[in-house]
Amino acid sequence: MITLPSFDEMYQALLDKNSQYEGVFVVGVKTTGIFCRPTCSARKPKAENVEFFSHTKEALTNGYRACKVCRPMKEYQSAPEWLVPLLKEVEAEPERKWKDYELTQMGFSPSRIRRYFNKTHGITFQAYLRMSRINGAFLKIKEGQTVTQSAFEQGYDSLSGFSETFKNLTGFSPGKQGQIVTINRIHTPLGPMMIGVTDEGLCLLEFTDRKMLETQLDVLKKRMKSELVTGKHPIIDQTEKQLEEYFEGKRKEFSIPLVVPGTEFQQRVWDALNKIPYGVTRSYKQQADVVGDVKAVRAVARANGENRISIIIPCHRIIGSDGSIVGYGGGVHRKQWLLKHEFENQ
């Protein structure tokens, strides 16, 4: 694990634009949601508005987007000449989903790009694009929450005035259709997680670097006829507290109300997952038997993968028939950690 210099030392290096710290850290600016190199020429933020990371991957995972001024996603000196045209295209269209065949048509080798990003930034090119899109969307939602908050605080002369503002922000009228899902990020020993709640309960808990997170957010919005707004909520606080107790080995069961819209089959699979005791594992085949169809192993595995509430709905307790630890959206390393943690704290 890389040990960073002290906060004061890094902050002074940032103020001084000290090039000796290039490659030592990148800095995330909480107020803008971007991360920068130590030598960035942009206006320097206050100390209370920054956090430092040893690697670009950490900044991305914690919800930041690359600065367009200092371009921290380039290698600390300069990107290789062959990659520059693509980086310019990505910068011009940050929301675009680049497919391998599109890269090939442009004359790039997807495998070469993948190797470069893995070596330089510790993530694949597609993972970088995905996290950038998610972080950008999160920032936009956060900006929207500010608008919503100001609507409540400033007040309106008529209900119709507020309703029009609300509809422009969320896409539907208040009280008529849909609902708001309050989302935020929480930190855990296994990395940052995105959490989503309604007044009825928890509906999303995913690691921010999960490949399916974008899809899960879209599915959630459609199934719940909802829009996403960042903010604070008592259920977020409750979940964060119970997760902290879980990771400390002090909690084996959660008492958080859940909101899990899905098909009838998915509901059965998720309900069966919730009944697996702490520290106990089942195979996909055993889980299919519990659900009521021993032949539905693949369908059960698929439903497990579509679970939107990690840890609390414990899909990490499902293993291969031979005891192998496979098939976890948050990453096999996290599944191994969770199972070891539960076995040791039974």
Q: For residues 210 and 329, is the Cβ–Cβ distance under 8 A?
A: yes
Would you please indicate which residues are annotated as catalytic (active-site) residues? 315
Residue type, 79: A
DSSP 80-119: -TTTHHHHHHHHH-TT----HHHHHHTT--HHHHHHHHHH
Please return the burial class of 3, using the count of CB atoms within 10 Å of its CB with bins 0-12, 13-18 and 19+: exposed
Please return the burial class of 120, using the count of CB atoms within 10 Å of its CB with bins 0-12, 13-18 and 19+: middle
Looking at residue 247, the DSSP 8-state letter turns out to be: H
125 sits in which H/E element: helix 125-154
Instruction: Please name the residue that has the structure tokens 């719940």.
Output: 224
DSSP 280-344: --EEHHHHHHHHT-TT-HHHHHHHHHT-SBTTTS-GGGEE-TTS-----TT-HHHHHHHHHHHHH
CA angle 330, 302, 285 (to 5 degrees): 105
Nearest-angstrom CA–CA distance, 62 and 192: 6
Residue type, 168: N
Q: How far is residue 92 from each of residues 86, 88, 89, 270, 310, measured CA to CA in Å?
A: 10, 6, 5, 41, 34
